């Protein structure tokens, strides 16, 4: 795969690249650049965290990247996830890794690194403090969105420390690329700006799309990033997300009740599921209708499906039925893994028993 092909592969899922020219230079200079993502283990895992993340990671490794996945257990602890119970958070981290094993993530080229191991190194805390020293409190508070918090909320001292830790993660892991969601953009930009002051480097940012929640999005005045954050699926509203623990019946019900306005392709969560998950997993998308309603339809690309939907040739209920079918098909291997593997099943049952907090 040449440099241009690698860039195109990454652009197939990237919402934003800062900057594309720097990314091109990196691929030309380094055969196996290091990409990093981090996740807070915080309860049940939804389809965007499980399947969509595996899709994006695999595209990065296909482009030659070595991927470092930070299990941000201490970050989740600082953010008071799972009631601030570190042992529950660690157990949930093990569960997430087990999910990715069953999701088809390219684990040969992915290294899982636990924050609870990183924090044992004094050099890490030196980085954290250097970042804190070179930023104002106001600037750090503006990064609070990365924790799923707003600037208006009362933040604990631990939560103020969180953005400094996340920026330090990038340099400590020697990550050439920050490959996180668009909601993490502010702290990644902070790392780019602070890199030179710390005599480090300027990491490249590849921000992936955040899958919409299934409910009707609230329309209003907001910039693109704030709007994307507001519309993304949320664990705090279970009906807005598909979880890998959902049964076929639950998935069918959620998809059936989802927001899917006729002929509207923008801000349509069902079409997002088709674009970012289903067409990444299947070569054709079939809508099997009774003959009196037009019979079988088959689409070889998402663009073809979108065009036909916009023209009114595909009814919302038709696309919902097909989407529910394919989502269940995609989740089935994960579901089977947790039913048949004793260790995986015990992990899942433990996590399901935890009180899931924000």
Single out the residue in 157, 178, 208 at which a domain terminates: 208
Number of domains into which the chain is organized: 2
Residue 232 is predicted with a pLDDT of 63
Asked if residue 229 has pLDDT above 70, the reply is no
Residue 264 is predicted with a pLDDT of 95
Burial string for 16-45 (b: 16+ CB within 10 Å, else e) reads: ebbeeebbbebbeeeeebbbbbbbbbbbbb
Single out the residue in 208, 236, 251 at which a domain terminates: 208
- How many Å apart are CA 92 and CA 95, to the nearest integer? 5
Token pair recorded at residue 173: 């892991």
Token pair recorded at residue 273: 């599921």
Tell me which residue range forms the domain holding 256. Answer: 224-353
CATH of the domain at 308: 1.10.240.10
11 occurs within a structural domain: yes
CATH of the domain at 59: 3.40.50.620
State which H helix or E strand residue 257 sits in: none
Single out the residue in 178, 208, 238 at which a domain terminates: 208
Map residue 68 onto helix, strand or coil.
strand
Residue 357 is predicted with a pLDDT of 45
Q: What angle do CA 144, 149, 150 make, to 5 degrees?
A: 80
> For the segment 281-326, what is each residue's pLDDT rounded down to a tens digit?
998 999 988 888 888 999 999 999 999 999 999 999 999 999 999 9
185 and 47 within one domain: yes
Residue 234 is predicted with a pLDDT of 59
Cβ distance 65 to 317 under 8 Å? Answer: no
Over pLDDT 70: what percentage of the chain?
92
pLDDT, averaged across the chain: 90
Backbone angles phi, psi at 67, to 5 degrees: -105, 130
> For the segment 45-92, what is each residue's pLDDT rounded down to a tens digit?
999 999 999 999 999 999 999 999 999 999 999 998 999 999 999 999
193 and 341 within one domain: no
Asked if residue 191 has pLDDT above 70, the reply is yes
């Amino acid at each position: 795969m040449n440099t241009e092909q690698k860039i195109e592969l990454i652009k197939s899922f990237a919402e934003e690249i800062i900057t594309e020219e720097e990314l091109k230079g990196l691929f030309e200079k380094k055969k196996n650049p290091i990409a990093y993502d981090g996740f807070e283990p915080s309860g049940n895992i939804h389809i965007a965290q499980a399947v969509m993340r595996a899709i994006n990671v695999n595209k990065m490794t296909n482009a030659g990247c070595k991927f470092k996945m930070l299990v941000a257990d201490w970050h989740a602890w600082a953010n008071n996830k799972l009631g601030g119970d570190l042992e529950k958070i660690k157990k949930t981290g093990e569960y997430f890794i087990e999910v990715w094993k069953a999701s088809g993530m390219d684990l040969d080229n992915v290294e899982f690194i636990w924050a609870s191991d990183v924090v044992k190194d004094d050099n890490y805390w030196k980085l954290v403090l250097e970042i804190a020293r070179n930023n104002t409190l106001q600037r750090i508070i503006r990064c609070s969105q990365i924790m799923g918090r707003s600037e208006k909320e009362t933040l604990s001292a631990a939560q103020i420390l969180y953005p400094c830790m996340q920026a330090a993660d990038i340099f400590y892991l020697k990550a050439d690329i920050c490959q996180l969601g668009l909601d993490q953009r502010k702290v990644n930009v902070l790392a780019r700006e602070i890199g030179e002051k710390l005599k480090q480097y300027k990491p490249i940012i590849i921000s992936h799309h955040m899958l919409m929640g299934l409910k009707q999005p609230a329309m209003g005045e907001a910039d693109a990033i704030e709007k994307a954050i507001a519309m993304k699926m949320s664990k705090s509203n279970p009906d807005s997300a598909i979880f890998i623990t959902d049964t076929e019946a639950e998935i069918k019900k959620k998809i059936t009740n989802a927001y899917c306005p006729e002929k509207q392709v923008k801000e349509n969560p069902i079409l997002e599921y088709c674009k970012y998950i289903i067409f990444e997993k299947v070569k054709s998308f079939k809508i099997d209708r009774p003959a009196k309603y037009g019979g079988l339809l088959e689409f070889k690309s998402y663009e073809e499906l979108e065009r036909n939907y916009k023209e009114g040739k595909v009814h919302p209920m038709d696309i919902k039925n097909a989407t529910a079918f394919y989502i269940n098909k995609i989740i089935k291997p994960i579901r089977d893994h947790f039913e048949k593997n004793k260790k995986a099943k015990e992990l899942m049952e433990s996590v399901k028993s935890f009180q899931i907090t924000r």
